[in-house]
Every structure is written in C-alpha cells, then in structure tokens.
Amino acid sequence: MIRLAVVSGKGGTGKTVVAAGLADISAVPQVLADCDVDAANLELLFKSRRITTEEFRGLTVARIDPERCRDCGICADHCRFGAILSRDDAWAVDPLHCEGCGVCAYVCPMGAIEMEPHVCGEISTSATDHGNLAHARLFPGSGNSGLLVCEVKKRAVALAGGADLLLADGPPGIGCPLIAAVSGMGAVLIVTEPGVSALHDLERLVTVCRRFGVRIFVAINRFDLAEDICARIEGYCEKEGIGVAGRIPFDPAVVEAVRRGWPVTRRDSPAAGALRALREHLLSEIGLR
C-alpha cells in the first residue's frame, strides 16, 4: 500500500480542499486519514457514517489524595507550571496547567499524589463512499497531538483491508503533529500558495520532510493571484529538484463547494480540472493509475 500525506507549511493554503478533491476522484481502493487532529474537518466534505468512537488518553495528570495530604505545600513549591493551587484550604491540581512531569509525586513526603491517565481527545472511524476514514479530535487545551496523529494512522492501517492507497490529510506547520504524520509515509504533497510567508514555510517544510526520506511533490494553489511569487516558488522547486505536480487556479467554485459541504471535484470548474490533472500526475509518479 502506497502512503501519501497532503501537508502544508502554513494554514489556509487549501490543503484539505486538495486532499478531499484527490480522495473524491481517486479510482483506486483507498483508506483515508485525517491527521489534522487540532482541526479535523475532512469528514465534513464527505457523507461519513460513524463506525466507532473511543477516548484518547495522553500524558498522565497529577491528582492529590486529600485523605493523605498533610498540607505541607512542597508539591506547589516544586511545580514549575503553577498547576498546584490552594482551594478551600486544600491543595488541588489544575489539569489545564499540569504537564504530567511527575515532580510533585516524586517530592511529596506523604505519597499523596498519583499520576492518572487524562482523557484529552477522542478517536473515531467512519465509512464514506470513498473509503474508510480514521479521524480524531483533540480537546481544547490538551497536548500530545503528535501521539494522537500516530493513533489515527494506526486506525487507518487497520481499516485499509486491500486498499492500494492511504491518503492522509496532514496538519499544517512543521511541529510534532506534522512529524508524526510524515513519518512512515512514502510520499508527501505539499500544498502552498503564492505568498512570501508561504514560500518561507515551504522551504522549512521541505527541510523537515527530507529527513524522513519521502518523495516530495508540490502543488501551488491559487497560483494566478501572484504569478511573480509563483515563479519564485517554481524556481525554488527546480533548484531543489522537487516536482511541481500541479497548479490550481483561484476559483469561486471552491468557496461554493465548501459552503455546500462537498469536494470541489463534484462539479466541473477550473479548480476541479486542475485537481484531476494533479491526480493523474501524482498517481503516475507514485506507481498507481
């Protein structure tokens, strides 16, 4: 099974629109993964039917046993994150500030603090007309998004069956979630746009992706809005030996498709035509038709 991640160096480039379009017109058996766990919305563009939902537990969070606590305050003195507070004449842990380091449990002379698993999100699997989908939701203020991305990928592989392609909608940026999404992939499609900041983030993203030995392709979305910067992006890609797999024009049909909750490829439009050409190029390059 070939694994392809659609990623971007910054938010707002149209990454999910491209990923949904590719999934919508793919003619090969596929399984989908939404690895943008901080803002998972791939399911919104497909009529998905929920199969399973389960809790995701990340790092542990401290809990103080009031029966064993002797109100010495040593734990609060050693907490670097200000997570241990005095409430109603007793010490308590604020889970939003606790980083799960365990120092408080280590220094407590009474053994009154335990580290407990903390629910910080949920993982779901759904069925769509274009293959099974693994996706997740990280609760606001929770960490461990990279670990949750890894769990989403595991669910997608388990759902794959005889699929020839795993298509993942990755997170933006170059942080831990992106690293977790790219790890183990065979190829990445970087969606960028003609902007100075987008070019800068593209360069950073290429540097990260190359450390994982994946094949890199670039798609330039809304390329006709600033053709001079588009030319700079193409020049950078040529210099780095990266293939520009497609150029997608600015198209009001994209906004209309998102508003209606379906992939832009459901109707004929300039953007839909460009996505079909992008698909043909990509599948040919990675060995699928």
Taking only the tens of pLDDT, the chain with its 289 residues reads 999 999 998 888 999 999 999 999 988 899 999 999 988 889 989 888 999 999 998 888 999 999 999 999 999 999 999 999 988 788 999 988 888 899 999 999 999 999 998 888 999 999 998 999 999 998 887 777 888 999 999 999 999 988 999 999 999 999 999 999 999 999 999 999 999 999 999 999 999 999 999 999 999 999 999 999 999 999 999 999 999 999 999 999 999 999 999 999 999 999 999 999 999 998 888 876 6
Helix (H, G, I), strand (E, B), or coil: what is residue 97? coil
Does domain 2-47+129-286 fall under CATH 3.40.50.620? My reply is no
What's residue 288's pLDDT? Answer: 67
Question: Whole-angstrom Cα distance, residue 138 to residue 98?
Answer: 17
What's the length of the chain? 289
Q: Report the pLDDT value the prediction gives residue 289, as an integer from 0 to 100.
A: 60
Q: Could you tell me which residues come within 8 angstroms of residue 47 by beta carbon, excluding any fewer than 6 positions away?
A: 128, 129
Alpha-carbon distance values, 54 to 35, 57, 210, 228, 257 (Å): 16, 10, 34, 48, 31
Q: What is the pLDDT of residue 48?
A: 86
- pTM for the whole structure: 0.88
Fold assignment, 59-119: Alpha-Beta Plaits (3.30.70)
Q: What is the pLDDT of residue 252?
A: 95
| DSSP helix/strand/coil, 176 | helix
pLDDT on residue 162 = 86
Whole-number pLDDT of residue 219: 97
| Domain ranges within the chain, ordered by starting residue | 2-47+129-286, 59-119
Distance CA 64, CA 75 (A): 10
pLDDT of residue 230: 95
